[in-house]
Each structure stands twice: as C-alpha cells, then as structure tokens.
Amino acid sequence: MFDVKKCEFPETTTDDFFKYTSKKVAGFAGLQIRNGAYGSISSPEKSDGTTHFCCDKDLSTEEFLNVVSWIEKNALDVLNKSLESFVEQYWYMRDLVIESLIDEKPDDVVPQISTYKDLSRLCGIVAVHIKGSGTMDIPRFGIEFGCNWEEEHGAGANFKGLDLVETGSASESFDFE
C-alpha cells in the first residue's frame, strides 16, 4: 500500500473508501518487500513479514482486526496455497518475460524453479484485502502479490477460510464477493 499512512495493528486509519492497518506476520516473512508504487520492489532486503491489510470502510473495526489475527495464525498455510496456485501461471508467463528481456539475464529475473516454494524469492505481498462477506471462523479475503513474472498486473489469490477460491492476476485478490 504505497501511498497509505502507515499505522500498526491494532491501530487503524481510513480514507474515503477503506480502512487500513499493518502487522508483522511471521508466516509472511522472507518474501520480497513490495511497498513501491504499483507493488514494485522497494528494498533489496527480505521482508520481515510486515503486511498491509485493508477492508471497506464500513466493515466494523472489531471484525477487521479479528480477521487480521485469523490470517496471522494461518499465514503459512495461506502463503503456501497461494504460491502453489501460481506455479502454472509462472511457467506460462516466464516464457513471455524472457522474450521481452533486453539486458537482463533470464535466471536473474525468472529462474528455473523446482517447487512452488522457490516462488517465495520472486514475489512479495502488496496487501491483504478483507471482505465482509465471510464469517469470523471462515473469513473472506484476498492476497495481492507483486511478482517478477507479472510486473504489470501482479498475482492474486482469494480465499474463503483456508479454501482457495480463485487465483490469477492481482485483481483476483480484491475483485470478488
């Protein structure tokens, strides 16, 4: 969330449409830091897990913070399911990225991967989008990723609890019911 006033959980801030908070989530640590404009890389260091969360402004703060805590408890499962869902997309996009490279070496931008866990060094979380259409036990949310293999649109996955509902471009993380 490039241009949002940063605040630490359990503090929240709002703008005209959304409510925000940030929290260090251990299960999301080690990814790229993607706090630049449009989810671009903003640091060469690995993420410490600080994650930006947002929801519609009308969602109660209590529900918002409860879902943030639920996601924190389940972060590693959510991350692994997201990365696993991106493998097919990665291989498809990798060839397109390689065709468009000019001075970069393919292995520096889109290297060969052996397992979905290899994608963790090629992407980072831009934001977690929480919807009010879930329940406290089965929250509805999406994760928006900035990634090396899809710099223009990023990658996204949305969940109903721990069930992956849809995966694809970044819009899948926030454009769902």
- Per-residue pLDDT tens digits for 142-152: 999 999 998 88
Residue with the two structure tokens 């890389």: 41
In the three-class reduction of DSSP (H, G, I as helix; E, B as strand; rest coil), residue 52 is classed as strand
The rounded distance, in Å, linking the Cα atoms of 89 and 57 is 32
Position 99 in a domain: yes
Position 43 in a domain: yes
pLDDT class for 1, splitting at 50, 70, 90? Answer: low
Position 160 in a domain: yes
pLDDT at 99 over 70: yes
Position 5 in a domain: no
Position 7 in a domain: no
pLDDT at 3 over 90: no
The rounded distance, in Å, linking the Cα atoms of 48 and 60 is 28
Mapping DSSP onto H, E and C, the string for 95-160 reads: HHHHHHCCCCCHHHHCCCCCCHHHHHHCEEEEEEEEECCCCCCCCEEEEEEEECCCCCCCEEEEEE
**Which DSSP letter does residue 6 get?**
P
Instruction: Please count the structural domains in the chain.
Output: 1
Position 2 in a domain: no
The rounded distance, in Å, linking the Cα atoms of 148 and 101 is 12
Report pTM: 0.93
Range of the domain at 44: 13-173
User: For the chain, how are helix, strand and coil distributed in percent, rounded to 5?
Assistant: 35, 30, 40
